């Protein structure tokens, strides 16, 4: 797998307009952000050696590289999921490639079901931590030290400094941003009301079928992670209605303007902070050194 990852990264490095500072992984129905990149270069996943194909409705299956303000960025418009039958090393393959092409920080996004009764469909939630209920982990199997430690620390999986930046950016942009814990499950069936009650008792605020494996892999590589969930529907038993995937896409369409505005401001602020340039009204952002080793590196 390490050889396949290096081949994909080398192939992309020859075609990307410049090394990206920030990567973005876009969840179900959240691909509008990719269209906001300036000077964009679009590459279908099918063209990238070893890249798994995105097949779920709402996932475009393309990599888009460009700029957000002055910041070089790359967005994965769509992801693959464990429930599609992909092994974990394939699920995290695109995320690992983001680290290998130079992304120092990655913004992970997803569409999620709201567990907290305080949430409403259309809310945006900053992920403060996660609970892994996939029953699997992308680091299981032979260890490759080029990707980082065998037992990576996960006590700050969603970096505190990046979360603080996200909160300041949301306040500046006047976009309400909830906070909470995301529980990741493998799906593809939606959860039962009893499962949702159990997740609530565990301290979860939102539930989805992605994100957790990618965050584990990125943390192993030393890449900074910040996560945003779009609450697209209330989870089973919270409201007296059945759950359907169409509701996910309808909600993401409704909130796309707010989502794109928040994500654009966040990516620009993180990227400018890394280079010592602060965007308007956000002085002194960033500055956390990169710890990874480049080159060794639904919901």
159: tokens are 């970096």
Q: Which pLDDT band, with edges at 50, 70 and 90, does 280 fall under?
A: low
Structure tokens of 111? 């569409």
Whether residue 157 lies in the annotated active site: no
The residue from 21, 54, 60, 84 that is catalytic is: 84
Per-residue pLDDT at 285: 45
pLDDT band at 298 (very low <50, low <70, confident <90, very high): very low
Q: pLDDT-derived band of residue 290, with 50, 70 and 90 as boundaries?
A: very low
Is the residue at 293 inside a domain?
Answer: no
State the total domains in the chain: 1
Q: What is the mean pLDDT of the chain?
A: 87
- At 36 the pLDDT is 87
Choosing from 130, 233, 235, 268, which is the catalytic residue?
Answer: 233
Look up 229 and say whether it is catalytic.
no
The Cα angle at residue 208 between residues 73 and 250, in degrees rounded to 5: 75
For residue 216, being part of any structural domain is answered with yes
State the catalytic residue, choosing from 9, 21, 88, 111. Answer: 111
Hey, which bits of 69-191 come out as E strands? 71-77, 105-114, 124-133, 178-185
- Catalytic option among 60, 245, 264, 265: 245
- Assign residue 135 a region: left if phi > 0, alpha if psi is -120 to 50, beta otherwise? left
* Set 28, 110, 116, 229: catalytic member: 28
State residue 21 phi and psi, 5-degree precision.
Answer: -90, -35
- Helix (H) or strand (E) segment spanning residue 23: strand 22-26
245 a catalytic residue: yes
Tell me, yes or no, if 81 is annotated catalytic.
yes
Is residue 235 part of the annotated active site? The answer reads no
Cβ proximity of 126 and 41 under 8 Å: no
Catalytic residue among 112, 209, 234, 235: 209
Residue 172, in any domain of the structure: yes
Identified catalytic residue from 116, 210, 219, 264: 210
Question: Which of the four pLDDT bands, split at 50, 70 and 90, describes residue 296?
Answer: very low
Q: 128-166 pLDDT, tens per residue?
A: 999 999 999 999 999 999 999 999 999 999 999 999 999
Residue 299 confidence class, pLDDT cut points 50, 70, 90: very low
Is 210 one of the annotated active-site residues of the chain?
A: yes
The confidence score (pLDDT) of residue 78 equals 85
Active-site residue flag, 28: yes
Residue 184 pLDDT: 98
Name the residue range of residue 157's domain. Answer: 2-139+146-275
Residue 292 within a domain: no
Is 82 considered catalytic here? Answer: no
pLDDT in tens, 165-214: 999 999 999 999 999 999 999 999 999 999 999 999 999 999 999 999 99
In the set 83, 154, 278, 296, the catalytic residue is: 83
What's 209's domain CATH number? 3.40.50.1580
Active site residue 88: no
Is 186 annotated as catalytic? no
Catalytic pick among 81, 130, 205, 292? 81
Identify the pLDDT of residue 244. 62
Report how far apart the first and last C-alpha atoms of the chain are (Å, whole number): 26
**Residue 296 belongs to a domain:** no
Average pLDDT over residues 40-69: 85
pLDDT value of position 32: 83
Q: What is the mean pLDDT of residues 27-47?
A: 87
Output the six-digit token pair for 176: 């309400």
pLDDT at 289 over 50: no
Residue 287 lies in a domain: no
Residue 241: pLDDT over 90: no
3 or 250, greater pLDDT: 3
Is the residue at 7 inside a domain?
yes
The confidence score (pLDDT) of residue 233 equals: 84
Catalytic residue among 45, 59, 73, 206: 59
pLDDT in tens, 89-125: 999 999 999 999 999 999 999 999 999 999 998 999 9
Q: What is the DSSP letter of 236?
A: B
Neighbours of 160 (CB within 10 A): 11
Q: Is residue 288 part of a domain?
A: no
pLDDT above 90 (res 269):
yes
Contacts of 253 (CB under 8 A, 6+ apart): 29
């Amino acid at each position: 797998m390490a050889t396949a990852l290096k081949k994909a990264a080398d192939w992309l490095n020859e075609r990307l307009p410049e090394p990206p500072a920030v990567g973005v992984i876009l969840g179900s129905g959240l691909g509008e952000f990719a269209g906001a990149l300036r000077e964009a270069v679009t590459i279908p996943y099918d063209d990238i050696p070893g890249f798994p194909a995105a097949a779920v409705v709402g996932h475009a299956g393309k990599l888009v590289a460009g700029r957000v303000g002055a910041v070089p960025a790359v967005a994965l418009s769509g992801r693959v999921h464990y429930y599609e039958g992909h092994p974990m090393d394939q699920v995290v393959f695109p995320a690992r490639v983001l680290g290998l092409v130079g992304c120092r920080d990655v913004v992970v996004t997803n569409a999620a079901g709201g567990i907290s009764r305080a949430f409403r469909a259309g809310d945006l939630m900053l992920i403060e931590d996660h609970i892994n209920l996939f029953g699997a982990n992308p680091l299981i199997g032979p260890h490759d030290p080029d990707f980082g430690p065998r037992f990576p620390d996960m006590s700050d999986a969603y970096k505190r400094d990046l979360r603080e930046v996200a909160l300041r950016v949301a306040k500046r942009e006047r976009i309400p941003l909830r906070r909470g814990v995301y529980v990741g499950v493998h799906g593809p069936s939606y959860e039962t009301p009893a499962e949702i009650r159990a997740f609530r008792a565990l301290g979860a605020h939102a539930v989805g079928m992605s994100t957790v494996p990618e965050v584990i892999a990125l943390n192993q590589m030393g890449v900074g992670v910040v996560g945003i969930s779009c609450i697209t529907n209330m989870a089973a038993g919270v409201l007296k209605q059945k759950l359907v995937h169409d509701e996910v896409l309808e909600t993401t369409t409704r909130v796309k303007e707010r989502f794109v505005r928040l994500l654009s401001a966040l990516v620009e602020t993180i990227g400018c902070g890394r280079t010592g340039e602060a965007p308007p009204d956000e002085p002194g952002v960033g500055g956390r050194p990169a710890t990874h080793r480049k080159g060794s590196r639904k919901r």
